[in-house]
Amino acid sequence: MQSFPPMLPLDHRLFRVLSEVGSTSLEDWDKGLSAELAKAGVDYDRASTATLPNLSRYEIVVVPAFGPFDFGTVEFLQKAAANGTKVIVGPESGGVSGAGVEVLGDPSDLAAFLPAPMFSCDNPNIELHLFEGETTVLSAFNNGAEPEPGVINGTDSFAMEGIWTPESLKAQESVEITLDPWGVQVWEVSTK
């Protein structure tokens, strides 16, 4: 079974005052990163306090940069990169450089650094979330006012047992679903 690397997109408010750089750009960048992580089905943590966490437990750290970071932040992120954490900044470098550091020109560029999701859906109006633990749970959300059909694709053969709406689905690689308007379905998933 595939698991996603821990992710930590650091909140841009840790490093810059919004009025200094224009809140629209930072908000757009933040929304773009969140959208890419959601599309890839990556479960991630978000830092939002002034005390920076220990980054050693994360494989990838993503930091919006709209100008230079202070020296302490640059040193902190470069140390994390030197210790094996992939540090991704953008659209500017923030002064962070060296091995293990990547600069993104656009939030959509983040997709190149993310693992292929265990499950994906061909309909962009259906949002999938995968939760792995003792049990693997997949949820699908229709955030619209119309019924949405879609095909859920998996990396392996899989079976899904409906939790909210009882149903049993088995597939070699894909299964067709339809979600009611504003509908949600949750399945317990097993792979073979």
Domains identified in the chain and CATH numbers: 7-113 (3.40.50), 119-191 (2.60.40.1180)
Supply the pLDDT for residue 25: 78
Supply the pLDDT for residue 151: 94
Supply the pLDDT for residue 3: 34
pTM for this predicted structure: 0.63
Residue with tokens 């959300």: 141
User: Do β-strands 60-65 and 86-91 pair in parallel, antiparallel, or remain unpaired?
Assistant: parallel
Three-class DSSP labels, 104-144: CCCHHHHHHHCCCCCEEECCCCEEEEEECCCCEEEEEEECC
- For the stretch 27-37, pLDDT in tens is 888 888 888 88
Q: Given a cut of 50, is residue 49 above it in pLDDT?
A: no
142 vs 149: CA distance, rounded Å:
10
End-to-end CA distance of the chain: 9
Question: Between residues 6 and 125, which one has the greater pLDDT?
Answer: 125
- For the stretch 71-91, pLDDT in tens is 888 888 999 999 999 999 988
